[in-house]
Structure 1
Amino acid sequence: MRPDVLALYRFYESALGRATCPIISAKLARLTAPKADSITIGFGFTLPYLDYLAQAEQDAGSRYLGFMPAQQGVCHWPAHVGSRTALVEEYNLPLADSSVDRMILVHALEHANRPVNLLREIWRVLAPGGQLIAVVPNRMRSWAAYEGTPFGHGRPYSKGQLATFLEEQMLPVDGWDTALMMPPFMRPIASRMLKYGERPIGVLGRNLGGALIVSARKQVYGTIPKSAKKVGVMPVLTGP
């Protein structure tokens, strides 16, 4: 079941949400390279993360927009200027082909009832070599089993499953990380301790985080999706 926009907003206003956001945001920033005059689309519920990235890249002249699926609902963002959010149909994004430099998915891919179609649409709107960063629940960790956070809803993935899935859609992985090493405690004191567990637990293994963060690039040559091979279909490589 997909959390609606109010449930997502309330989570990120809670003590646990306020502790979660900077941890994931810092790891998102490490997977991105600032690019002057670039366009970044956040899809799902990405507003807290777009705030962080926009601040980090404020001198690059980059533009940020928040797209939210119709089933979830939409809210205003950012607070200090005119809204840069839109309610969209996730399988028919209102964007031209090859028009976006970067797509960031948070609370999105795990909720799509047609994830292949979603990735094909993202492939369509990304510029050649454009970057997709997806944040999804790690199926091997307790965050995916705890329904008290948005990471406990939808379909979780393992690292291998996610990498294979992206590569089948001509989005080969070029980097990854995990976040949220400690279990999702809701008490304020435990929430404040969340950030202190990242480094020591991470030393034991990068795959121990409750959220997977995967970076992939749009590939436009030399690849036929495996799903097409299975049914004997030859795709046109100008679109997924």
Structure 2
Amino acid sequence: MQENTRIASQFYASPRGRLAATHLRRHLSSFWPDMPGGRVLGVGYTVPYLSLWDNDVTTCVSARLDALVTRPAPAEGPAGRECVVAEDRFPFDDLFFDRVVMVHALEVTDARRALLRQVWKVMKDDARLLLVVPNRSGMWAHADTSPFGQGTPFSYRQITRALASACLRVERHENALYFPPVGPTGGRRWSGLLERAGTRMLPYLGGVCVIEAVKDAYAPVGNAAAPLRMPALRLRRADAFSRSGGGVAGENAPRHGGGPALRT
């Protein structure tokens, strides 16, 4: 069972996975309670969450990453709206999606910069990104019995820097999943009590970080300062100096070895 729950699709088929999805869906819906329509892209493994926004005016597309945690999965999404993608190549047009949701994505890939670049490209200029990553300070990142315990966890500062380097600006964040990743789950009532208590008393110790970001149109392209180039300065030797303002240079100039000595 431990080996199976490391795969995202099998984890969400387990009682603990269904419970985690229930609480995480509540957090995600608080960020985007109303979807005005358009297109939503889910990157990583987002099938348990895309149904929050899939309706008659919103089209949701699931793009599972070609990684061990997210690749194996049954055909759960809507027909024609699910695919497997590489981190550095998305089969979508630029500026195509109004919203992007990332779960089990950034922590399970070694090509984070390329993945964020692809996400940035397919987002419209006014699009929003909702990202879920394991919290380095939380319990879930240190228990390898779930997909949240695979790959590289992040602190809030680390994920903020990673997004900023991809020209994405964080606007809001909160933590989630305060019930333990191992042992008895205690059911929805007990885990819900832990979620509410943890959010109020230990807000930085949640199992995952939930972050909303937007495109940063004014972000600098790079951190390195541009080299300063000075024009070449050419010095020309002065052969003679005029003693009179109206004379031609060299007429009354002293010769080498002659003329009065200069006094200071």
- How would you bin the TM-score normalised by the shorter chain? 0.7 to 0.9
SS in 2 for 1:134: strand
One-letter amino acid of the structure 1 residue matched with residue 205 of structure 2: L
State the structure with bigger RCO (CA 8 A, min sep 6), 1 or 2: 1
* 1:51 Cα deviation from its structure 2 partner: 2.0
One-letter amino acid of the structure 2 residue matched with residue 75 of structure 1: P
How many residue pairs get aligned? The number is: 222
Give the whole-Å Cα distance in 1 for the aligned partners of 2:49 and 2:153: 20
Question: Does the CA contact (< 8 Å) of 1:15 and 1:186 recur in 2?
Answer: no
Q: 1:62 aligns with which of 58, 61, 70?
A: 58
* 1:207 Cα deviation from its structure 2 partner: 1.4
Structure 1 or 2: more helix by fraction: 1
Give the whole-Å Cα distance in 2 for the aligned partners of 1:91 and 1:179: 29
Question: Does the CA contact (< 8 Å) of 2:169 and 2:214 recur in 1?
Answer: yes
Gaps of 5+ in 1: 234-240
The 5 Å alignment of 1:133-152 reads 133-152=130-149
1:75 aligns with 2:74: yes
Gaps of 5+ in 2: 228-264
SS in 2 for 1:206: coil
Q: List 4+ stretches of structure 1 deviating above 3 A.
A: 3-6, 188-192
Q: Which residue of 2 aligns with 1:229?
A: 223
Q: Which residue of 1 aligns with 2:86?
A: 89
Q: Which residue of 1 aligns with 2:163?
A: 166
The C-alpha deviation readout for 1:143-186, integer Å capped at 9, x for no partner, is 10100111111100001111121122110001111111122134
The C-alpha deviation readout for 1:49-106, integer Å capped at 9, x for no partner, is 112333xxx36x111010012234253133xx52421111221101111111111110
Q: Aligned-pair RMSD on alpha carbons?
A: 2.3
One-letter amino acid of the structure 2 residue matched with residue 196 of structure 1: L
Question: Does the CA contact (< 8 Å) of 1:104 and 1:134 recur in 2?
Answer: yes
Question: Does the CA contact (< 8 Å) of 2:100 and 2:128 recur in 1?
Answer: yes
Give the whole-Å Cα distance in 2 for the aligned partners of 1:6 and 1:114: 20
Pick the structure with greater CA Rg: 2
Q: Which residue of 1 aligns with 2:41?
A: 41
* 1:4 Cα deviation from its structure 2 partner: 9.0
Question: Does the CA contact (< 8 Å) of 1:131 and 1:217 recur in 2?
Answer: yes
Give the whole-Å Cα distance in 2 for the aligned partners of 1:97 and 1:231: 29
Give the whole-Å Cα distance in 2 for the aligned partners of 1:6 and 1:147: 7
1:28 aligns with 2:28: yes
Q: 1:124 aligns with which of 121, 126, 129?
A: 121
Give the whole-Å Cα distance in 1 for the aligned partners of 2:148 and 2:118: 23
Identity of counterpart residues, as a percentage? 27
TM-score by length of 2: 0.77
